[in-house]
């Protein structure tokens, strides 16, 4: 089977893209000279996908929060054994995770990747649920949810998301709630599995010490062809206004924690890539460890080395987040907003912009020498909407200081910001 070769116009790196007859998209990045192989079998099904329909449905169906995460837990078990037992025989290290907008099953190995790949494709396509095993899992995940509720770091984040988002399900914890998972039964799990684990909604990515022809031969052997069910997902219309500006919770912490968020209109595909890169540059310019404000806040004891920032985005949501520990989070919030206003008036230093952009560029180039990074780049491109894994590098090369100055107003609009605080008892 001849695949399409996706080439990086800047570095000349390349990987292959196949549309398998089963409906699955397969992305293979052959990396000669590398000893390890990294593979992910993923579905565009995350915690936010609680409303959907197929050609068989007359209207949209709503399912309980947390069901995507629940499914991830259950798929490792089949009627005969646990998938981890099979991986133990091949020597591969396996795992899985659920995010807001996708679920992935993965392994990494240094030899015999073909046998591990067969295990991966096999168990993900063979669900086995009974009401007894579902009931047991409800207890296990219920305990996990309660542990998360006791985590100050997790609570300060999800409290912030509840401030920023009024209707979008990103405001709900990925694991759901004890009440929501109590509504899950075996029949509902099978329905969600058949809907979202349809191969037309999935991707296989393999990077490192691998051969594309061998990967496709294994796909021919293991993949079960299925029809396109016309899957549609839907989200409630999210207003730009935040739900609330401030939220506070009391928990047993030694130092007060805070998260600040700046809500941004949701982006798609190329727009999202550009906005993520510009936000990353802006966060470093305004709040990075080399910025004037960081030094001022640090010297005044208002922040410490736990101060971080990130760009938070996915299907229907986008926000820039800042967080850490502080004796006065409201002062930090106000000072950051004042700094944003100053940059909107004065602009940025072009040399500092150039240094940060070049640093990000170098980091991206180096990531192409890491097997896991290459696999995740391919997966990310698929989840974002069938983009090239090289799209971020190519977009970064085109970003100018005028771009970030023009987009600063939208990316850091203080009118659409909120502060979440967790204080000591």
Q: What is the DSSP string of 165-178?
A: -SSSGGGS-TT--H
User: Apex CA 255: angle with CA 425 and CA 97, to 5°?
Assistant: 100
Alpha carbons 314 and 46: distance in angstroms, whole number:
10
CA distances from 276 to 44, 218, 310 (A): 20, 36, 10
CA distances from 408 to 4, 199, 392 (A): 37, 40, 19
* Token pair listed for 217: 């031969």
Alpha carbons 66 and 157: distance in angstroms, whole number:
17
* Residue 134 contacts residue 140 (beta carbons within 8 Å): no
Residue from 132, 135, 126 nearest 194 by CA: 126
Residue from 148, 200, 174, 146 nearest 72 by CA: 174
Bridging pattern class, strands 417-424 and 246-251: parallel
How would you list the strands of the sheet with 61-62, edge to edge? 61-62, 51-53, 232-233
Residue from 335, 301, 305, 307 nearest 321 by CA: 307
Alpha carbons 176 and 70: distance in angstroms, whole number:
9
Q: Phi and psi at residue 283, in whole multiples of 5°?
A: -60, -40
How would you list the strands of the sheet with 417-424, edge to edge? 246-251, 417-424, 257-263, 317-325, 308-314
Alpha carbons 62 and 31: distance in angstroms, whole number:
43
Q: Which of 72, 108, 278, 339 is catalytic?
A: 72
* Residue 255 contacts residue 424 (beta carbons within 8 Å): yes
* Residue 216 contacts residue 26 (beta carbons within 8 Å): yes
Q: Does residue 72 have an active-site annotation?
A: yes
Alpha carbons 256 and 247: distance in angstroms, whole number:
13
- The catalytic site residues sit at 72
């Amino acid at each position: 089977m001849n695949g399409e070769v996706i080439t990086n116009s800047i570095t000349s790196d390349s990987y292959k893209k196949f549309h398998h007859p089963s409906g699955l998209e397969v992305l293979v990045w052959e990396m000669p000279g590398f000893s390890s192989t990294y593979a992910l079998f993923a579905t565009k099904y995350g915690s936010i996908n609680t409303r959907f329909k197929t050609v068989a449905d007359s209207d949209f169906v709503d399912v309980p929060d947390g069901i995507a995460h629940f499914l991830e837990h259950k798929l490792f078990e089949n009627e005969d054994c646990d998938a981890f037992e099979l991986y133990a025989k091949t020597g591969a290290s396996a795992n899985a995770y659920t995010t807001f907008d996708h679920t992935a099953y993965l392994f990494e190995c240094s030899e015999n990747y073909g046998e591990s790949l067969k295990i991966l494709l096999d168990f993900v396509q063979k669900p086995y649920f009974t009401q007894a095993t579902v009931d047991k899992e409800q207890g296990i995940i219920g305990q996990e949810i309660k542990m998360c509720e006791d985590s100050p770091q997790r609570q300060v984040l999800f409290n912030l998301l509840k401030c920023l988002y009024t209707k979008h399900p990103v405001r709900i914890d990925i694991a759901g709630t004890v009440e929501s998972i109590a509504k899950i039964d075996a029949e509902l799990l099978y329905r969600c599995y058949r809907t979202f684990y349809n191969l037309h909604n999935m991707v296989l990515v393999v990077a490192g010490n691998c051969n594309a022809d061998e990967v496709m031969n294994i796909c021919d052997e293991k993949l079960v062809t299925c029809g396109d069910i016309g899957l549609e997902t839907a989200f409630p219309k999210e207003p730009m206004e935040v739900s609330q500006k401030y939220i506070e919770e009391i928990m047993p912490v030694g130092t007060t924690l805070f998260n600040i968020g700046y809500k941004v209109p949701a982006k798609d595909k190329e727009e999202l890539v550009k906005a993520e890169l510009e936000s990353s540059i802006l966060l470093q310019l305004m709040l990075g460890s080399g910025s004037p404000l960081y030094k001022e806040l640090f010297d005044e004891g208002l922040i410490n080395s736990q101060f971080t920032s990130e760009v938070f985005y996915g299907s229907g949501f986008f926000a820039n987040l800042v967080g850490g520990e502080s004796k006065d989070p409201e002062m930090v919030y106000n000072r950051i907003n004042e700094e944003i206003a100053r940059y909107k008036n004065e602009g940025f230093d072009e040399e500092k912009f150039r240094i940060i952009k070049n640093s990000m560029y170098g980091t991206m180039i180096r990531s192409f020498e890491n097997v896991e990074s290459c696999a995740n780049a391919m997966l990310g491109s698929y989840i974002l909407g069938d983009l090239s894994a090289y799209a971020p590098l190519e977009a970064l090369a085109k970003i100018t200081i005028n771009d970030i100055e023009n987009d600063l107003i939208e990316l850091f609009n203080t009118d659409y910001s909120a502060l979440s605080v967790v204080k000591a008892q």
